[in-house]
Structure 1
Amino acid sequence: MDERLAALASARGVAVAYENGDREQVRVADDVVIAVLAELGVDAATPEAVEAALAEPPATAVPTVVRQGARVAVGEGEVLLEGGGTVAVAGELPADLPLGWHVLRVGGRETPLAVAPAALPPAPRTYGWMAQLYSLHSPGSWGIGDYADLREFVSLAAADDAGAVLVSPVAAPSLVHPVQRSPYSPSSRRFLNPLHLSITATAAFRDAPEDVRAAVLELRPDATELVDHDAVWRAKSAALELLRPVEGADQDAVEPGLLRFATYCALAEAHGADWRLWPEALRSPDSAEVAAERARLADRVGFHAWLQRLCAEQLAEVHAAAAGMAVGVVHDLPVGVSPSGADGWALQGVLASDVTVGAPPDAFSPLGQDWALPPFRPDRLAAAGYLPFRDMIRSVLAHGDGIRVDHVAGLWRLWWIPPGRGAAEGTYVHYDAEAMLGVLLLEAHRAGAVVIGEDLGTVPEVVTDTLRERGVLSCSVAYFERDDDGDPRPPAQWPAQAAASISTHDLPTALGFLTGSHVRVRAELGLLSDPEGEAVRARRERDEVVGLLESEGLVAPGAPAEDVVDALHALLARTPCALAFAAPTDLVGEQRQPNLPGTIDQYPNWRIPLPVAVREVFTHPAVRRAVEVLRKR
């Protein structure tokens, strides 16, 4: 690569090479680097353009996120404290600034200034449950897990002395048919999913006349083998229309972010879920035409704002059910949002809307992965004082006691794939990890929350090392915990500052892992180039894990799968990890994994309900055995 192009890329945080999963250096093609720079607003198409871009004076860097106690040079000015009052600044920030979101005033310019904790306090040692919300069900639910089911799940877990419940994202999809199924590709990460509303648990239903309640109950969808998101929303939206308040919402009284989200929802009903295909004048949230449409669609805007209030009320009840837990409810944060959805529309100024993120080729995905999610632009996010990122984290933590950050390495770097390119034709774009992590920790500190960083796969050592330094739990999965020789790691050697589990939502269940069903399914779908080789590898990995269980005296040789599953939970209990998570799917005999990466409609991703109802989960013999072992932690 030309040295000048490499220098420009480095200055803008774009990688020209990276280390793959085999610790080999991979050089990024010049045209990919040029394409990614273009998405950052940098013309590098010709040598002359590169020279011109290098000659541009760098933007003045004003710190917006600092660790408490750090002395950072900023010039002469003052800090306007969040709680009131000012502190004079004589060249560098005072070391005794309090934690919080302040304003730095230097040279007549005001910028946000977040003072973040150096580290979070240690997480309590306990056990908990991982729950896929859509999969829960009870006699009263309407074809999909709802917030009342989650409240019952949390209550029953708490009764067994569980300290935490990690729940799949409750982020809002675009509620236009076909409804987005994946909780990891939401329309908005700031707002909530009305699909999970418990209709009969609303005050509107309880207070409705008897004939209205009867009409609502008639709308309940018939039971289906798989979760039918569209049928559920047709039924619930019709029921909510019957129950909604007659009076319209006062838009002036609605928080601006919620008003914008509700406006998107109303516009999506009228013009389709993808704002990029709307009439040109409606594609800008602040246009006069959008304001006119908001007024014209005031009834629908009010309806969607009301749905968000209902969601918040029901999640508050979930949160209250976890009041006695050591940790409480932990919400999963997706990597990004759908480019066509509400956040894609509202945050155009800070998103690289034409780019998608994913992962480079590795042993698991030889062609790479494209998650079809647009990333934040690091330059514009910094210019915005990281407030869009803060607002998202704050919104998630408003409804729980912890946050699990999916693909936490994305706070350091993300694999950007330029438009029109394959998943392998990308490169890493770097972020200010000190600022991103600082915002996350400050908001977690304010909420008294635990933070888990999903650091599985090919992750730079600096990520895991920094997570440990700053009090964030990493993730330890039984299938992946290996020593330097590649052998399964004994439980005593697992990291203490971690959340341990047998599997995740993207991996086979315990029974699927033991029987090899995950390999058979992928082979049947044509997803494997070498099915037999993959089957051999899966059997070897299974035998190695079972061998570890035998060497630990947790299971006898030749034991049935049921005993091996019990032994895997006993293995989790033996680790020093702060949190040990069990999953109902591992204990009630489910072979199918919740999501099969690389598939959309070929596999029932995010549609598989638990084989038993919520209350029956906690009376299941295998669950009782696991609870007996895990609660002793």
Structure 2
Amino acid sequence: MAADAATRAEVDALRPETTGDRIAHDRVWAAKRSALEALWRSAGHPGDDLRDFATYCALAERYGGRWSLWPAELRRPDGPGVAAAREELAPRVAFHAWVQRQAEAQLAAVRAAAKDAGMPVGVIHDLAVGCDPEGADAWMLQDVLALDATVGAPPDAFNQRGQTWGLPPWRPDRLADTGYAAFGDMTRALLAHADGLRIDHVMGLWRLWWVPSGQTADRGTYVHYDADAMLAVLLLEAHRAGALVVGEDLGTVIPRIREDMAERNLLGSTVLWFSRDPDPVTGGDDGPLRPPRRWAERSVATISTHDLPTAPGFLAGEQVRVRAELGLLDDPTTEEAKAGAERDELLALLTAEGLLDSPDETDEDTIVVALHALLASAPSRLVLASLYDVLGETRQPNLPGTVDEYPNWRIPLPVSLEDALADDRVRRVAEVLRARTGHDG
């Protein structure tokens, strides 16, 4: 962003010092907000068509971030006191609208840079399964959300006590009554600067595990949606934007979901840790690891995801250690033995595929590069690599089912982005992935 020398100096002076090994979001946001204030004063005050969102931000500055505790006349966008408050807070409303305009300009620049760099797809954005119940989305969309429930997942092998995510689900009756307008508006906004869209927990277009507020995850139940209508809205907006759609179909997935996805040409998600052949005895989905060359073509292939252990974490058994420490496992000893067996099985597969000299290999970097070579052998439409995997970070970015117990979304990369791009491990992984496509860049 253009700014005079004095403004740039003011902004540079606001840079917070890094302390510890976690991102301090509150301190970073305080510094960024002050920097934006300085740039706002320098840039002037453009117009506003983000009225409700910017109004929420201005009200949150005055009354706190929980709109359910605001004065009663302000708890809805059409509340009797909102118009007067908006007029009184007009400078702050304008500021927050301006900040969104800067974000929009940066998103457009990122997309243009991706295209200029020759990326065949471009930027893929993420459609979350829910929103903060006290955030701007919930304030504006409270008539179509179930604010007395949370989205989650029933108990399963990965999280034996189930999960509650603290996110209010869509109300299927209100979505239908309003012609799915809110869902369509949100999808359209996400696709404005995207070449693709990843649908988090795509099963939520068919059904969601609702947990009543204050209850544990095992007290929930599935609530069903009109999937045909939800998919029609999603695919209409994707067609208008010329974007591909990826569904995160991991976890408990009923057969109809993958059938509907295939029929509509939605890409699925294939993750190395979960890709197994049927058990030869039970017929379940926990048989031997499936070599990537036999993975689904209509999918996006990855080693892991932000909700699962990183490659170094998996090799070290970090996923067992941290869940045991937080009391999320019923039998840590059994889980530790299982994790060790899965690691041995993975090393054996890498050796059988000719990517390791021996299943006794212990060098982490060598194994991680081999894992990406394994990934590159998949016929999947897209193959993605994560810097967390490549750079040796053992902690996964997010641990589902936790809030303050784990530093979710506060774990920085172990090195700066500039250093990462010059890292030899990054170069080696890029080479094995480039060999998959024959690209030179």
Equivalent position of 2:388 in the other structure? 585
What SS class does the counterpart of residue 273 from structure 2 fall into? coil
Work out which of the residue numbers 169, 176, 200 in structure 2 matches 1:406.
200
- The answer to whether residue 7 in structure 2 is matched with residue 212 in structure 1 is yes
One-letter identity of the residue aligned with 1:216: V
Distance 2:7 2:353 in 1: 60
1:305 aligns with 2:97: yes
Q: 1:248 to 1:283 in 2, by over 3 A?
A: farther
**1:331-342 correspondence runs (5 A):** 331-342=125-136
| Residue-by-residue CA offset, 1:480-525 (whole Å, 9 max, x unaligned) | 1000121100222100000000001111111111111221222233
Matched, 1:556 2:357: yes
- Larger helix percent: 2
Tell me which residue corresponds to 2:39: 243
Hey, what does 2:64 align to over in structure 1?
272
Q: TM-score, normalised by structure 2?
A: 0.93
**Separation in structure 2 between the aligned mates of residue 464 and residue 526 of structure 1, nearest angstrom:** 33
> 1:174-573 alignment to 2 at 5 Å?
202-203=1-2, 206=3, 208=4, 210-224=5-19, 225-245=21-41, 254-255=48-49, 258-323=50-115, 324-485=118-279, 486-557=287-358, 558-560=360-362, 561-573=364-376
Return the alpha-carbon distance in structure 2 between the equivalents of residues 249 and 214 of structure 1: 21
Task: Kindly report structure 1 stretches of 4+ aligned residues shifted beyond 4 Å.
Answer: 246-250
The superposition leaves residues 534-588 of structure 1 with CA deviations (integer Å, 9 ceiling, x where unpaired) of: 1001111111222211211111221223222111111111111111111111111
Compare CA radii of gyration and give the structure with the larger one.
Answer: 1
Q: CA deviation at 1:254?
A: 2.7
Match of 1:64 in 2: none
Displacement of 1:611 in angstroms is 1.4
Share of identical aligned residues, percent? 58
Give 1:418 shift: 2.0
Distance in 2 between residues matched to 1:378 and 1:249, nearest whole Å: 40
Work out which structure has the larger RCO, using CA pairs closer than 8 Å and 6 or more positions apart in sequence: 1
Separation in 1, partners of 2:110, 2:42: 28
Q: Deviations over 1:281-339 (max 9, x none)?
A: 11121123100100011011011001000111111111110113110011122110011
Contact kept in structure 1, 2:160 and 2:329, CA below 8 Å: no
Secondary structure at the residue paired with 1:632? Answer: helix
- Higher strand content, 1 or 2: 1
Q: Unaligned stretches of 5+ in structure 2?
A: 280-286, 437-441
Query: Partner of 2:148: helix, strand, or coil?
Result: coil
AA partner of residue 143 (structure 2)? G
- In the TM superposition, 1:117-132 aligns within 5 A as none
Q: Aligned partners of 1:254 and 1:616: how far apart in 2?
A: 39
> Where in structure 2 are the equivalents of 1:53-64 lying within 5 Å?
none
SS in 2 for 1:244: helix
SS of equivalent residue, structure 1 residue 347: helix
Quick check: 1:248–1:302 contact (8 Å CA) kept in 2? no
- 2:159 is aligned with what amino acid? S
- The one-letter code of the counterpart of 1:559 is E
Deviations 1:1-39, CA, capped at 9 Å, x for gaps:
xxxxxxxxxxxxxxxxxxxxxxxxxxxxxxxxxxxxxxx
Q: Tell me the distance in 2 between the aligned counterparts of 1:215 and 1:254.
A: 26
Q: Report what 2:283 is aligned to.
A: none
CA drift at 1:411: 0.2
Q: Secondary structure at the match of 1:451?
A: strand
SS at match of 2:166: strand
Q: Residue 231 of structure 1: CA displacement?
A: 0.9
Distance 1:316 1:219 in 2: 26
Deviation string, structure 1 residues 179-208 (Cα, Å, up to 9, x no partner): xxxxxxxxxxxxxxxxxxxxxxx23xx2x3
Deviation at 1:528, TM superposition (A): 2.4
Question: Is the CA contact (8 Å cut-off) linking 2:165 and 2:400 kept in structure 1?
Answer: no
Contact 2:161 2:328 in 1 (8 A): no
- Cα RMSD (Å) of the superposition? 1.6
CA drift at 1:246: 7.2
The answer for the alignment partner of 2:416 in structure 1 is 613
Decide whether the 8 Å contact of 2:48 with 2:94 is kept in 1. no
Looking at structure 2, the residues matched to 515 and 287 of structure 1 have their Cα atoms a distance apart, in angstroms, of 53
Compute the displacement of 1:598 (Å). 3.2
- Aligned residues of 1:329 and 1:401 also touching (Cα < 8 A): yes
Is 1:597 the counterpart of 2:392? The answer is no
Code of the aligned partner of 1:575: A
Structure 1: distance between partners of 2:257 and 2:165: 21
For the 8 Å contact 1:248–1:299, the answer to whether it is kept is: no
Aligned to 1:92: none
Shift of 1:425: 1.0
